[in-house]
Structure 1
Amino acid sequence: MTLIANVPKIWYQQYFSMDYLLKYGYFDFKYSSRKSNEEYILSNLVYKEIFNTEDISKIYLDLKSLHNIKFNSTKVTYPIELSIFKNDDERRKIKFPNIYSYICLCEHLNQEQDIYMDILYKSKQSLSNRFYSETFLNGKIKRTKNRFGKRKIFKTDIQHFYPSIYTHSIPWILVGKNEAKKNKNKKNLYYNKLDSLIQRCQIGETHGIPTGSFATKLIAEIYMCKLDEKLSDHKYVRYVDDFEIPYNDVVKKDSFYKSLSKELSNLNLKIKVEKNEIDRFPFQDGNNSAFFFDYFTNIATKVSDQRKRIYNFIEESINKEREGHKGSIKLMFRALIDSVKNGVLKEETFDKYLHSNLFNLVLMQPILAVLYIEFLEHFKNNDEAILSIKSNKEEIQSSINNYIELSYSQELFSLLSIFHYLELYELLPKEILKKIIEQMDDLSAILAFEALLVNEDNIDYDLFENSETKLLNSLSWEDEFWFFKYHVIFKINLNKKKKIYKEFREFLFLKYGNGSMNKGAFMNKKNLVNIESPINRFFQSKNSHQDIGKFFDVLLDNKISFIKI
């Protein structure tokens, strides 16, 4: 294989580095080295100052050299699973792998990066193969160039792309189906390793890949770039799994459609027929970002005038979203953030009612929560925002109960993230927080646990019993709800002088002591390893694969956290 030249290779090297994959990749924080200011780091799902993997990225080299962690376990692990809003009629599932399995996958991508970078670079059809290094303008130029002289565009995409990828089809696309099947038992071949590593990230499942992390995005793009090679006779462009081919002659469109259908069928994938669309010149394109970012140019300085202008801006942005310009409300928040940050819009312009208007948009579209928090970052104080939220207390609590009943992860942890950021816990009664811990996803449960710890009176037998109920089937670090479990054990063992550590020891003795020995003997480490509590770190490590147990022990000993407290 002829590897790519050094200059284009720079486009990809950062994305295959262990530092990037660990620091930014786990929660897929969107970061480009062209932007030196890390204020630009943003994830669609989680806020960088609440959940992040910065600590583990700092200790990674020591895990290998000082602590001799091998990252060679073949044990399958449970991912974090979240129910995410897609549209009013459909939801999708996001999966973040167990952090141990994720590092194993990242090491593979790092070690085989030359092969994968070559695949990415070779695709001339992809608009997504440069990830966050590509500018919006460059993408627009490529689309326009490909459409030159054509009056029609055919658009289509793959049905349920990420959940439908058969992991065994990854070797098929990488080296060809016949070659892959012939060598399927040769586990050391890079493509078989990748297949196996993905399965380990999702309890051995072969259907779908664990959507959520940047590593998965990287694998999906590699997969699609190999598909581009098979369709190289057709002049189309592609963004992830969205295809568009411009044409004048319907024969060219039909030929592309037939070829795409055939190649997808070979991979056990299919076209989402109901999304097929023909656009005619003048084409309906995406948003003009200038509308949003120039909206407040030369705006008056009078607060009342600014307020009126902002209300109009919100209304126009919502109308654009309704008309089919996806992302209009996101761009609206981005423009507001820039205008407040640069002093174009005055802080006092945003009163309780305007804040309430913006917060309501978050309730409608939970994916806006991260942008909303970033917006609040640029205020000297958030009193008006807090007042606006408190004034809607009854509706918010009703929404929370509804999210729990429907198992709506994203809506719930988005709200809890905002409350955590604002230190606004009075809207969260103890019984609701306990219900969240027992019934909801890892992220929501962690934020509920943190909310309970704000009042030390909540640190009691019931708190630990509540946590154990959630973790009833989580008896090793490979098991479900590992992320929540790690945080609870981390908080318990962070400081032995704290009430939570002392109360936990009392809880263990009362629940598991059975009066068979005195407290001192019971608390001896040799005895504790046999106490089958899911929040007992010694039992967890003993019950896990050796390398995985050692890995989590080192994280706990080094006070590695996944949440900024």
Structure 2
Amino acid sequence: MDDREDKMKKIYKSEFDYYKEIFSWKNAIEKGYYDFPNYSTSDWDGIYSTVNYLPEKYFNFNQLLGKPELFNKIENYFANVILPSFNATSLEKLENSLEKSPNAHKLGDFNKYLEFTHPIIFKIPKTKDTRRILKCPNFYAYCMLLFIIDQYKTRIIKMLEKDHHAISNNFNYLPSSYSINQRIQDSILIGHSKFFKTDFTNFYPTFYTHVISWLICNKKKAKRKDSWEKINFGNLMDKAVEREQDGETHGVPTGNLLTRIVIETIMSKFDLELEDELRKRCHKVSFYRYVDDFYFAYNDPRDIIEIKQIMDSLTSKYDFTLNGSKTMETTYLKISSGSRLVDYFSNLNLDNELEPKDIANVLNTYYMIANKEISNGIKGADKLVFVSLKRYLERLLRDNQKNGQKNNLLQSMLDALLYTDSYRRYPFLDNIIQYPFIMKLFQMVLDNAQVAMKFVELIKTIKKCEVKMNDNFRNLKKMQFFFNRKPFKELIFNKLIQYIHQRKNQETIAILTVFLELNIKLSHDQIIRCFKAFSDCEKDGYDEYDDFSILMVLHYFLHQNKCISAKYGSGIFDSWVIHYLFELVSEDRNMLKTNDYMAGKHWLLKYQLFYYYKYDPIFNKRVHKYIASWYKIQHQLGNKNPKLINFCDLNHVHVVKNNNRTIDQFYLELLGKKFSFTTL
């Protein structure tokens, strides 16, 4: 029994129970849709894996979990709608019955429930010059895939349990951890003298969805017409993933748990084929896989030729492409190397009486070490800069509460983060602006937006420490002062507009999240500029802008009405914003592959506009004032029969209860229960 299994035994009765909990509707929705990490706060798990690309504080399913009746309705929605149509109690039983009766239902009969849906496109930095595209599926389509996975979970779990080479099939969920994965890695590598690593080129973006059925059902069998027309496990998962992305067969929706479950399920089959070929053709070769990264350990130099040939053959068979730039022989030292930033401050044993100025020097040294590690490509260093500091503050706070007295070191650490020196001997230098250490960390966010949520978590920890120490948010106010300085705020806001025009979604979210966390306000002029930039992006003919960024700016519109600018009165301000909102959600129905309004682009923005219009009387009033003003202007211009669709009103966009379309009906039920997808 390996370390992973041993640790799970202490908490779960079996590995099956462990996976069953991960695959549950509650977890797959609550944590899975945005793939929020599920780590212990006392360990260093997750530093080297995924990071939040969205602020969990604003985008979550807390409201859904707080409405158990609605949650149960969603969980049972697909079973109640789909299974009775086939007179079946489960998809597995339906599949088995159709095997014996080949002239019965075909996959086409199921496709009417597998609607074409448009995902939210969200681009994040991959390298300095390239972007990685995340596809956030329509929530209906995500739940449909979850329904299929839930129906076949026993089969999926058995496949995962058989794969002893994958260290990513624990999905980063406790009790599995980075440290346990390291031990599994060591058990595979130690004892060998030669090592080889490789991965696939652009694995998620280029993944061919039909490979799902090829690997699950056997490629030759899956490609036969009588096979790909059948309702079975492989075909259903293939089609469900396709429909999450408007029928695209290349690429998969990334950034959610279900996609990782699908990938790990089919890659478990790949691992078994690879294991079988290595056993036949090589001497003793060990390997492990983390998603699409493969590491091989061997002793006989002749084995490297066979390893490469086997990988070439299997990747060609399943339409994968090996990444030539990352395919190389390596060493155990390089594979297992780590960062000096882990527990950096704890290892220094700082004196409790140190002054903020002294700690500021320690922080600057820390910053130089971090920069060097990031430049040298040390894995996880960019995240550890924030996490190591955050966890040290949390440790000092725990010590402070445990001892029941004020911890001088904690206070000095907080002060050092916002410390600026004075030029006492040279007062003529006082006009030079000094930025404290925390602003250097913000610069790291501007350089690499993927660490933005780590920076925000650090800010939250500073707030928490100041609350517990009754410090009246002294350092938080200093931070707000630096961000609110007119030249700096204008500089960062102009970067925000630049990011929107460049379609840099992650960078846009990063600045908006920091602004909201620090309560940095936007003027009416700035809010309108943001909406104009979003609208301009749509007119350029490229992908629409992401709903998350738009909703974060909409938050300012909904909650900052008292801030009237010199340029725009409240009425003009409302008109411009609502005008741009209507532009964003309008679309030509003839371009849709489905009649469902909620299946198209901006599904999340559309839903939230319905929600605010229905349950926020102030927003409702502002929309009506805009519409009345629009008609008045049209009549003044001589237009006899003007028509304006109110995109905030369900009836105006033909989302009605009697339309026989499952997606619109699904969202109507959510709306009727006062469910909101965001806490903004």
- SS at 2:38's partner residue? coil
Q: Does 1:300 align with 2:300?
A: no
Matched ranges for 1:106-185 at <5 A: 106-132=146-172, 133=174, 134-182=176-224, 183-185=226-228
Aligned-residue offset at 1:16: 0.7
Matched ranges for 1:263-342 at <5 A: 263-280=314-331, 282-283=333-334, 285-288=336-339, 291-293=342-344, 295=346, 297-301=348-352, 302=354, 303-342=356-395
Question: Higher mean Cα deviation, 141-150 or 27-36?
Answer: 27-36
Task: Provide the rounded CA distance (Å) in 1 between the counterparts of 2:182 and 2:168.
Answer: 12
2:14 to 7, 21, 25: 7
Question: Higher mean Cα deviation, 375-384 or 357-366?
Answer: 375-384
1:470 to 575, 584, 593: 584
Aligned-residue offset at 1:29: 0.7
Distance 1:474 1:62, change over 3 A: farther
Matched ranges for 1:374-393 at <5 A: 374-378=457-461, 379=463, 380=466, 381=473, 382-391=476-485, 392-393=488-489
Aligned-residue offset at 1:112: 0.8
In structure 2, the residue matched to 1:102 is 142
- SS at 2:14's partner residue? helix
Aligned-residue offset at 1:69: 7.3
Aligned-residue offset at 1:443: 1.2
- SS at 1:26's partner residue? coil
Aligned-residue offset at 1:329: 2.1
Which residue type is aligned with residue 534 of structure 1? F
Which residue type is aligned with residue 172 of structure 1? W
Task: Provide the rounded CA distance (Å) in 1 between the counterparts of 2:79 and 2:325.
Answer: 52
- If you compute each CA radius of gyration, which structure gives the higher value, 1 or 2? 2
Moved over 6 A (4+): 33-36, 65-69, 512-516
Cα offsets for 1:247-299 (capped at 9, x unmatched)? 33232122122111211111111101111122136445332477435545521
Task: Provide the rounded CA distance (Å) in 2 between the counterparts of 1:371 and 1:64.
Answer: 33
Aligned-residue offset at 1:362: 0.7
In structure 2, the residue matched to 1:562 is 677
In structure 2, the residue matched to 1:47 is 55
Q: Does 1:359 align with 2:442?
A: yes
- SS at 1:231's partner residue? helix
Task: Provide the rounded CA distance (Å) in 2 between the counterparts of 1:187 and 1:540.
Answer: 36
1:349 to 393, 409, 416: 416
Q: Does 1:454 align with 2:559?
A: yes
Q: Does 1:539 align with 2:606?
A: no
Distance 1:327 1:451, change over 3 A: same
Aligned-residue offset at 1:533: 3.6
Which residue type is aligned with residue 585 of structure 2? L
Asked if structure 2 preserves the Cα contact closer than 8 Å seen for 1:83 and 1:94, the reply is yes
Distance 1:384 1:120, change over 3 A: farther
In structure 2, the residue matched to 1:27 is 34
Q: Does 1:399 align with 2:495?
A: yes
Question: Higher mean Cα deviation, 59-68 or 99-108?
Answer: 59-68
Task: Provide the rounded CA distance (Å) in 1 between the counterparts of 2:16 and 2:79.
Answer: 31
Cα offsets for 1:288-340 (capped at 9, x unmatched)? 47743554552123222222212211221121111120211201211111111
Task: Provide the rounded CA distance (Å) in 2 between the counterparts of 1:340 and 1:240.
Answer: 33
Asked if structure 1 preserves the Cα contact closer than 8 Å seen for 2:123 and 2:131, the reply is yes
- SS at 1:542's partner residue? coil
Which residue type is aligned with residue 385 of structure 1? M
Distance 1:65 1:104, change over 3 A: closer
Task: Provide the rounded CA distance (Å) in 2 between the counterparts of 1:42 and 1:174.
Answer: 27
Which residue type is aligned with residue 477 of structure 1? M
The CA RMSD measured in Å over matched residues stands at 2.9
Task: Provide the rounded CA distance (Å) in 2 between the counterparts of 1:385 and 1:14.
Answer: 41
Number of aligned pairs?
544
Q: Does 1:415 align with 2:549?
A: no
Distance 1:341 1:426, change over 3 A: same
Task: Provide the rounded CA distance (Å) in 2 between the counterparts of 1:267 and 1:286.
Answer: 32
Aligned-residue offset at 1:513: 9.1
- SS at 1:153's partner residue? strand
Distance 1:290 1:138, change over 3 A: farther
Question: Higher mean Cα deviation, 128-137 or 532-541?
Answer: 532-541
1:259 to 300, 303, 310: 310
Distance 1:411 1:333, change over 3 A: same
Task: Provide the rounded CA distance (Å) in 1 between the counterparts of 2:340 and 2:178.
Answer: 9
Asked if structure 2 preserves the Cα contact closer than 8 Å seen for 1:27 and 1:43, the reply is no
Q: Does 1:372 align with 2:455?
A: yes
Aligned-residue offset at 1:507: 3.0
- SS at 2:275's partner residue? coil
Structure 2, unpaired ranges of 5+: 1-11, 83-111, 279-285, 397-408, 419-434, 467-472, 538-544, 562-569, 590-596, 636-642
Structure 1, unpaired ranges of 5+: 517-529
Aligned-residue offset at 1:541: 5.0
Task: Provide the rounded CA distance (Å) in 1 between the counterparts of 2:376 and 2:268.
Answer: 32
Distance 1:327 1:65, change over 3 A: closer
In structure 1, the residue matched to 2:526 is 429
- SS at 1:245's partner residue? strand
Task: Provide the rounded CA distance (Å) in 1 between the counterparts of 2:270 and 2:297.
Answer: 19
1:60 to 49, 68, 71: 71
Aligned-residue offset at 1:416: 0.7
Task: Provide the rounded CA distance (Å) in 2 between the counterparts of 1:375 and 1:282.
Answer: 32
Q: Which has the higher contact order (CA 8 A, sep 6+)?
A: 1
- SS at 2:294's partner residue? strand
Distance 1:17 1:33, change over 3 A: farther
In structure 1, the residue matched to 2:430 is none
Task: Give identity over the alignment, percent.
Answer: 23
TM-score normalised to structure 2 length: 0.75
Which residue type is aligned with residue 501 of structure 1? N
Asked if structure 1 preserves the Cα contact closer than 8 Å seen for 2:253 and 2:259, the reply is yes
- SS at 1:342's partner residue? helix
- SS at 1:131's partner residue? coil
Aligned-residue offset at 1:555: 1.9
Cα offsets for 1:496-539 (capped at 9, x unmatched)? 3x2x11121233445469999xxxxxxxxxxxxx9744332223
Distance 1:418 1:283, change over 3 A: closer
TM-score normalised to structure 1 length: 0.89
Asked if structure 2 preserves the Cα contact closer than 8 Å seen for 1:221 and 1:240, the reply is yes
- SS at 1:22's partner residue? helix
Task: Provide the rounded CA distance (Å) in 2 between the counterparts of 1:68 and 1:129.
Answer: 27
- SS at 1:423's partner residue? coil
Aligned-residue offset at 1:158: 0.4
